[in-house]
Amino acid sequence: MDPRLPAVEMHPSRWGDPARAASLPESARGLVEAVFGIDERPAATDVAVPPPALDEAVLDALRAAVGAEHVLLDDATRRLRTRGKSTPDLLRQRAGDLSDAPDAVVRPADHDQVAAVLALAVEHRLAVVPFGGGTSVTGGLVARREGYAGLVSLDLVRMKRLLAVDHTSMTATLEPGLRGPEAEALLAAEGLVLGHYPQSFEHATIGGFAATRSSGQSSAGYGRFDALVVGLRVATPRGELRLGSAPASAAGPDLRQLLLGSEGAFGVITEVTARVRRLPAEKVYEGWAWPSFEAGAAAMRTLAQAGLLPTVLRLSDEHETAINLARPDAIGAAGASGCLMVVGHEGEPEPVAARRTAVASVLAGLGGTPLGEEPGRAWAHGRFDAPYLRDAMLDVGVLVETLETATFWSRVPQLYDAVRTALVGALGEPVLVLCHISHVYETGCSLYFTVAASGGDDALGRWQRAKAAASDAIAATGATITHHHAVGTDHKPWLPAEVGELGVAVLSAVKAELDPTGVLNPGVLV
């Protein structure tokens, strides 16, 4: 087997490594039964994938571009490249709806092969969906196929090289198909680390992080992914863009920013040059308790504005703290009261000790209670596990989904209330709405909501209505429709409220210039 192919493919209608799929832990099952009732909902099996609709001449041209063995038409591969991993995506897969399956999965080896596939797409009018890890939660992999001769999933899985390391400038150039742990292992061999740990880290890719402006759990210390990127190479139907020739530049507007977050609609990112750090010698995570979400959030603001941010800083609201979501292995077990904050420090022992003391002194002074390292260790241990619970909840008929936004500090209480009210109103009791803050800035923070409600016979429709209500509430408070999940197709209706019709027109003009025939991810972003 080609060593560049993924060691683990995710199940088509579940999250993550199939070997780690879990049923509900006993503590959670009790809670679910008490609150929502158990309503077993097995996923449809052996659903046929619509037959590929590409003619042989086009397939031969694609085979000539990337090699015959890298143009795949089989049902299993096409099923695995159908949509992403939002709850609506999973619900559609579970219901046996494979109408968005690509006609072919094409796996280029390098930039030139990507460019060759794009040229063929223009020539034969093929819609092309760049596919990284397939963890999109905003419909970023659900392109429009009407008006196209076929739909091709451009699977970047073979593009997995660490192309260059500059130890003097502390940058590394990576190919887009590297999954989080693969990039981490290559950099660790150089004594380096990227420091980007979204919850989807184990499956999402370098190209996907850049294409969606992803933000990880250590964003307070390392920065969001778009802040790590110093250079990009991009293949577009009009040719190549190489961006980022210096650490900073006044040569007009920063074109890298146009490509970061462009979700495969402007071009295919084929190389990412990112800032790297030395591997941390020490990692320490600890818990703090706060009497209220407001008090904990005020403490986060104080740290951010004092320039005293730790590497990890997250705060669960009273609801999330009580449910114990920070510890997926103990979900539903008697939770703590108040609000749990996790504070993590990574780096060399001396600066870690100094910062830890300084941060602790600020937090204690503001009314925080230190809980020691156990809650921090528990969080770090289970940090990538929570998504498996969503499948277990869907199995018993409970709708679970997340959404996120961000705003300035002065508007956080209003945003928090508006989103909660919208979700509770749309879904009706019983519903659980949990929230945490995990990305903070001097001027504001993101709010990340987790929602659980009974799904019933129309779980998809129920979620779509709730999501629309929450999105309207977000727009009405002037917050962003997405802090780090991107626009995709799901957030598109709210983009004009955020950037204005003129802003959308600017994005459309960029798309028209780079992709004049509209073959790249049609319907995504713009």
Q: Choose which of 187, 192, 211, 466 interacts with ligand FAD (CB under 6 A).
A: 211
Stretch that binds ligand FAD, among 39-47, 90-98, 207-215, 407-415 (CB under 6 A): 207-215
| 327 closest CA partner among 370, 284, 385 | 385
- Is residue 463 within the footprint of ligand FAD (CB under 6 A)? no
198 scored as a contact of ligand FAD (CB under 6 A): yes
Q: Which is nearer to ligand FAD, 15 or 409 (CB)?
A: 15
Residue 260: closest CA among 438, 487, 496 = 487
> Does residue 328 interact with ligand FAD by CB under 6 A?
no
Would you say 367 or 493 has its CB closer to ligand FAD?
493
Interaction between residue 221 and ligand FAD (CB under 6 A): no
Binder among 77, 113, 205, 324 for ligand FAD (CB under 6 A)? 205
The reply to whether 131 sits near ligand FAD by the rule CB under 6 A is yes
What does the DSSP 8-state code read for residue 493? G
User: How many residues are recorded in the chain?
Assistant: 526
Query: Least CB distance from residue 403 to ligand FAD, whole Å?
Result: 11
Give the nearer residue to ligand FAD in terms of CB position, either 82 or 407.
82
Token pair for 420: 């909660």
Contact 126, 65 (CB under 8 A): no
CB 450 within 8 A of CB 463: no
* 409: number of Cβ within 10 Å: 18
Confirm or reject binding of residue 84 to ligand FAD (CB under 6 A). yes
Dist CA 187 CA 295 (whole Å): 39
135 binds ligand FAD (CB under 6 A): yes
Minimum distance from CB of 261 to ligand FAD (Å)?
Answer: 9
The number of residues that bind ligand FAD (CB under 6 A) is 39
3-state SS assignment for residue 253: coil
Judge contact between 8 and 17, C-beta under 8 A: yes
Q: Which of residues 416-435 bind ligand FAD (CB under 6 A)?
A: none
Nearest approach, Cβ of 346 to ligand FAD (angstroms)? Answer: 17
Token pair recorded at residue 185: 């292992």
Piece of 94-102, 137-145, 274-282, 299-307 that binds ligand FAD (CB under 6 A): 137-145
Q: Smallest gap, in angstroms, from Cβ of residue 135 to ligand FAD?
A: 3
Q: Which of 233, 314, 311 is nearest to 277 (CA)?
A: 311
Per CB under 6 A, the list member of 52, 108, 140, 296 interacting with ligand FAD is 140
Amino acid at site 207: G
> Helix, strand, coil shares of the chain as percentages rounded to 5?
40, 20, 40
Pick the piece of the chain touching ligand FAD (CB under 6 A) from 181-189, 214-222, 284-292, 462-470: 214-222
How far is Cα 209 from Cα 202, in angstroms, rounded to an integer? 12
> Counting contacts by CB under 6 A, is residue 105 touching ligand FAD?
no
Instruction: Find the Cα–Cα–Cα–Cα dihedral 206, 208, 214, 218, rounded to 10°.
Output: -30
Give the closest residue to 407 by CA, choosing from 498, 344, 490: 498
CA pseudo-torsion sign 19, 21, 26, 28? positive
Contacts (CB under 6 A) with ligand FAD, residues 268-307? 268-269
Cα angle 261, 265, 269 (rounded to 5 degrees) comes to 65
The smaller minimum CB distance to ligand FAD, of residues 98 and 235, is found at 235
Binding track over 379-418 against ligand FAD, x by CB under 6 A:
--------x-------------------------------
Minimum CB separation from ligand FAD for residue 438, in Å?
A: 8
232 binds ligand FAD (CB under 6 A): no
- 204 or 393: CB nearest ligand FAD: 204
| Binding flag, residue 261, ligand FAD (CB under 6 A) | no
Binding mask 158-187 for ligand FAD (x = CB under 6 A): ------------------x-----------
Question: Per rule CB under 6 A, is residue 339 in the interface with ligand FAD?
Answer: no
φ/ψ of residue 212, rounded to 5? -115, 5
Nearest-CA neighbor of 9 among 70, 68, 62, 78?
78
Q: Which residue has the tokens 């009706």?
A: 428
**Beta bridge partners of residue 129, listed in sequence order:** 153
Q: Work out which of 28, 204, 400, 423 binds ligand FAD, going by CB under 6 A.
A: 204
Binding mask 3-42 for ligand FAD (x = CB under 6 A): ------------x---------------------------
Which amino acid does the sequence have at 206? I
Q: Is 480 in the site for ligand FAD (CB under 6 A)?
A: no
Residue 152: C-alpha distances to residues 112, 130, 276, 295 (Å): 17, 9, 34, 50
Do residues 62 and 72 make contact, with C-beta atoms less than 8 angstroms apart?
A: no
157 counts as binding ligand FAD under rule CB under 6 A: no
Rg (CA), the chain: 23
Q: To the nearest whole angstrom, how small is the minimum distance from the Cβ of residue 154 to ligand FAD? A: 8
Q: Which residues bind ligand FAD (CB under 6 A)?
A: 15, 84-85, 129-137, 140-141, 156, 176, 198-200, 204-205, 207-209, 211-212, 214-216, 263-264, 268-269, 387, 484-486, 521, 524
